[in-house]
Structure 1
Amino acid sequence: MATVFTRRVVAYVLDFLVVSAVMWIISFFLFGLFGPKNVYNAYQFLPFLVAIFGFLYFVLCEKILGASVGKAIMKLEVRSKNGARISWLQALVRNLTKIFWVPIIFDWIIGKFLKTDRILNNITRTIVVNDYS
């Protein structure tokens, strides 16, 4: 069986695909709304929409369902260190690095350098656990 870390990476890639697919659909509608002569105007909003949608996707999925789509597929779940479901504040803070996707790499590297999990997981006192129940 793959390690939890490997499954988390695969889950993150799956989540990236989910967010990308939804953003492709949104960009299609933006293009239709603005028309071919105003493509620049339509697509100048996308970086902000991607950041907002990606952040909301992770926060809502992890708070309401306990896992994002990728984590659910990989049978992982986000929990407080005491075993309870995470709070809204924990969900918001632990996903701050996922706003633009790249900062999560630094969050993980700094965490490994300090011999801990991700920094924001430590701050929010959350963990990702196997969900084989």
Structure 2
Amino acid sequence: MMSVFLKRVIAYFMDFFVVSAFMWIVSYLLSLVLSVNNPIYHYFIYVVPVLIMVYFVVCEKFAGSSVGKSLMYLQVISQNGAPISWSQAIVRNLTKIYWIPIIFDWAIGKILKEDRFFNVISKTVVIGA
């Protein structure tokens, strides 16, 4: 039987592929409309991180899990057992704006003998369904 940690790692990689596929489609459609020399096209590097965070926040707020978490039978809930609020969803996913900060989030959490640090701040937990 897999641990919740291993399921979370696998879910994270699944979500990475889901987000990457979505971003590929968006960038392809954007390239059809705008030329690479268009200044608006260069703002896309600032829009992508926001779209990544929106994906996680919306999925976890409405469904309690992202696509990867759903496939691994994981769910995000408040520490009191209730569904997470908008503010909890936003705070716990701040490190996902860029993919690298999640490593520091996890490491700080381990140093504090807790789950991810931003789960502690947002008072959320990930449970196996």
Q: 1:112 to 1:40 in 2, by over 3 A?
A: farther
Please tell me whether residue 4 in structure 1 is matched to residue 1 in structure 2. no
Deviation of 1:49 after TM superposition, in Å, equals: 2.1
* 8 Å Cα contact 2:76-2:127 kept in structure 1: yes
Any unmatched runs of 5+ in structure 2? none
Once residues 98 and 43 of structure 1 are traced to their aligned partners in structure 2, the CA distance between those partners, rounded to angstroms, is 22
Counterpart residue number, 1:86: 84
Q: Which residue identity does 1:47 align to in structure 2?
A: I
Number of equivalenced pairs: 129
Per-residue displacement from partner, 1:21-63 (whole Å, max 9, x unpaired)?
A: 010001101111113xx35746523321220110000000000
Q: How do 1:1-133 and structure 2 match up within 5 A?
A: 1-35=1-35, 38-39=36-37, 41=39, 43-131=41-129
Once residues 123 and 52 of structure 1 are traced to their aligned partners in structure 2, the CA distance between those partners, rounded to angstroms, is 21
- What SS class does the counterpart of residue 100 from structure 1 fall into? coil
User: Which piece of structure 1 moves more, 121-130 or 40-49?
Assistant: 40-49
Q: State the percentage of identical aligned residues.
A: 53
Once residues 40 and 22 of structure 1 are traced to their aligned partners in structure 2, the CA distance between those partners, rounded to angstroms, is 22
Any unmatched runs of 5+ in structure 1? none
Q: CA RMSD in A?
A: 1.3
Once residues 78 and 59 of structure 2 are traced to their aligned partners in structure 1, the CA distance between those partners, rounded to angstroms, is 15
* 8 Å Cα contact 2:61-2:84 kept in structure 1: yes
* 8 Å Cα contact 2:109-2:115 kept in structure 1: yes
User: Which piece of structure 1 moves more, 56-65 or 40-49?
Assistant: 40-49
Q: Which residue identity does 1:20 align to in structure 2?
A: S
Once residues 77 and 124 of structure 2 are traced to their aligned partners in structure 1, the CA distance between those partners, rounded to angstroms, is 6
Once residues 75 and 57 of structure 1 are traced to their aligned partners in structure 2, the CA distance between those partners, rounded to angstroms, is 18
Once residues 41 and 7 of structure 1 are traced to their aligned partners in structure 2, the CA distance between those partners, rounded to angstroms, is 41
| TM-score for both structures, normalised by structure 1 | 0.92
Once residues 25 and 100 of structure 1 are traced to their aligned partners in structure 2, the CA distance between those partners, rounded to angstroms, is 19
